Amino acid sequence: MSGIFSASAWNKVWMYKGTFILGFWNTIQTSILGILLALILGLIFGLMATSGNKILKAVARVYVEVIQNTPVLLQCCFLYYAMAFSGHSMGILLTGVITLGVYTGAYMAEVFRAGIEAIPKGQSEAAASQGFNYFEKMRFIILPQTIKIILPPAVNQVVNLMKNTSCLYIIGGADLISLTYSFVTGANTGGAYAPAYIVSGLLFFVMCFPLSKFAGSWENYLKKKEQRTNI
């Protein structure tokens, strides 16, 4: 690890800082789009799992079990190479968005399901007695109350998705980890292992830590707001 104290290694990282900036922004873009897809899928399958319809519940259960019990790396490789060999190749970042969105969506579905089921059934019965249909009941009564319940696990899944962008390395991605590896093994940039991976780790920290702090503050705000309402 002597490279940590090598001025030439740090200088090399600084000279090629554009590589790390590009990887950082690619990771941010992939994460944002993947998170949006995961939230959509999580909400859809979470609602299906709590719908009371046996067929919809079975479909949601199959999706969750299959995705959660297979490695995200395998899913990434399958999607990328299956599409390539079928003659419908898609870009690496698009593959990452779909893979990470579908993978994280399975965990989000369980988060939404748990949040919905945590709301007392009396809430649903009261909404039904007032003439609310299923979607109105979920939109106006149930889902707003689940926010403080699902927020901590949902943020954990978002942070995990950001870190899982590293799986794009297996298909030659342009994410932060992939470009860091290309940097440390490049003909002109190779050798600066410790500084390069330290910078990469710090950039991941910059992405993930503020999100966790914001979620914690938001959760405390919601709890205090609820306490003031109940007084």
Q: Which residues, including other chains, have CB under 8 Å from residue 207's CB and lie 6 or more apart?
A: 24, 27, 28, 31, 162
Residue 36 predicted with pLDDT over 50: yes
Q: Is residue 73 part of a domain?
A: yes
Q: Is residue 40 part of a domain?
A: yes
Mean pLDDT of 204-224: 82
Query: How far is 20 from 195, CA to CA, in rounded Å?
Result: 12
The parent domain of residue 169 ranges over: 7-230
* Nearest C-alpha neighbor of 180 from the set 193, 168, 167: 193
Q: Check residue 145 and give its pLDDT.
A: 85
Q: Is residue 176 part of a domain?
A: yes
Residue 42 predicted with pLDDT over 50: yes
Q: Check residue 41 and give its pLDDT.
A: 97
Mean pLDDT of 188-215: 88
Q: Is residue 2 part of a domain?
A: no
pLDDT tens-digit map of 99-157: 999 999 999 999 999 999 988 888 877 877 887 887 888 888 888 888 888 888 898 89
pLDDT tens-digit map of 155-197: 889 999 999 999 998 888 888 999 999 998 887 777 788 899 9
- CATH number for the domain spanning 103: value is 1.10.3720.10
Q: Is residue 122 part of a domain?
A: yes
Q: Is residue 1 part of a domain?
A: no
Is 0.85 surpassed by the pTM of this model? yes
Domain count, the chain: 1
Residue 1 predicted with pLDDT over 70: no
| 8-17: long-range contacts, CB 8 A cutoff, minimum separation 24 | 9/191, 9/192, 9/193, 9/194, 9/195, 10/192, 10/195, 12/189, 12/191, 12/192, 12/195, 13/183, 13/192, 13/195, 13/196, 13/199, 16/183, 16/189
Average pLDDT, the chain: 88
